[in-house]
Amino acid sequence: MTWHPIGPPPPSGAAAVLVQVAGREVALFQDERGQRHALPNSCPHKGGPLVDGIVQAGHVTCPWHGWRFELATGKCTTVAEDSIVPCRVREVAGNLEVDLP
């Protein structure tokens, strides 16, 4: 387990932001309850940018072809075999850190 600092939390109301972590793109999400989640930014279907997707009811929908993923687990509710491994997120001294899978 290696935690990577990514800086202060995004402003309140931001559904998703793109961060670079150890040379990889990670989409950082905030759900309706204010909890933070992080997923690799590329949809396994065709590589769509999940950071540009619609965040609703604890899911993100890929903007390219509509595949849905649970923010907390990375489970794909469209095609279960294409689930993704989420990144863990924590806050330390007012800054966020991400653990890559």
Total structural domains within the chain: 1
Give the CATH number for residue 29.
2.102.10.10
The yes-or-no verdict on residue 79 having pLDDT over 80 is yes
pLDDT digits (tens, 9 = 90+) for 59-77: 999 999 999 999 999 999 9
pTM assigned to the model: 0.92
The predicted structure's pLDDT at residue 97? 96
Alpha-carbon dihedral sign for residues 39, 26, 29, 54: negative
Q: Which of 42, 32, 19 is nearest to 89 (CA)?
A: 19
- Quickly state the pLDDT bin for 4 (edges 50, 70, 90): very high
pLDDT digits (tens, 9 = 90+) for 37-47: 999 999 999 99
**Domain of 58, in residue numbers:** 3-99
Q: Are strands 3-7 and 36-40 parallel, antiparallel or unpaired?
A: unpaired
